[in-house]
């Protein structure tokens, strides 16, 4: 079965950290750009961070820049999102997406991408 599976979410206090993982099953991520997206209740899907297939290019939403770091390990077929200094407003379901187009991942968060994970809940609360 071809799928992306996210893990690593949970409940954390403000100021805390989490590392999300996005693992591919049944296919190789080597040739795909990856994006992390989040959606909070009542809000639109928001792009958070993106990484090109080689890892040479990364981008971050203004709201997370300086706090989140995206990385990939193609040998493990996995992409990571290290989230530090978490805030209550980071609370959302986080999804990863894979697409052959880095540009489309960055510019069109509502698009139907090649692969989309089921999501992992991140809750930041004291």
pLDDT at 71: 98
Ramachandran sector of residue 31 (left: φ over 0; alpha: ψ -120 to 50; beta: rest): alpha
Summarised one tens digit per residue, pLDDT across range 36-51 is 999 999 999 999 999 9
- Mind listing the pLDDT tens digit for each residue in 88-123? 999 999 999 999 999 999 999 889 999 999 999 999
Q: Which residue has the tokens 């509502």?
A: 110
Beta carbons of 11 and 82 less than 8 angstroms apart: no
Tokens standing for residue 67: 């706090």
């Amino acid at each position: 079965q071809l799928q992306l599976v996210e893990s690593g979410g949970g409940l954390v206090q403000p100021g805390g950290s989490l590392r999300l993982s996005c693992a591919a099953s049944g296919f190789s991520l080597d040739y795909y750009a990856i994006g992390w997206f989040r959606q909070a209740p009542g809000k639109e899907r928001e792009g958070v961070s993106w990484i090109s297939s080689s890892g040479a290019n990364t981008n971050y939403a203004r709201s997370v820049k300086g706090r989140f770091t995206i990385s990939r390990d193609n040998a493990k077929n996995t992409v990571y999102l290290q989230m530090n200094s978490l805030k209550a407003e980071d609370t959302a379901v986080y999804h990863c997406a894979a697409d052959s187009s880095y540009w489309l991942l960055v510019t069109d968060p509502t698009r139907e991408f090649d692969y989309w994970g089921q999501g992992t809940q991140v809750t930041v609360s004291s």
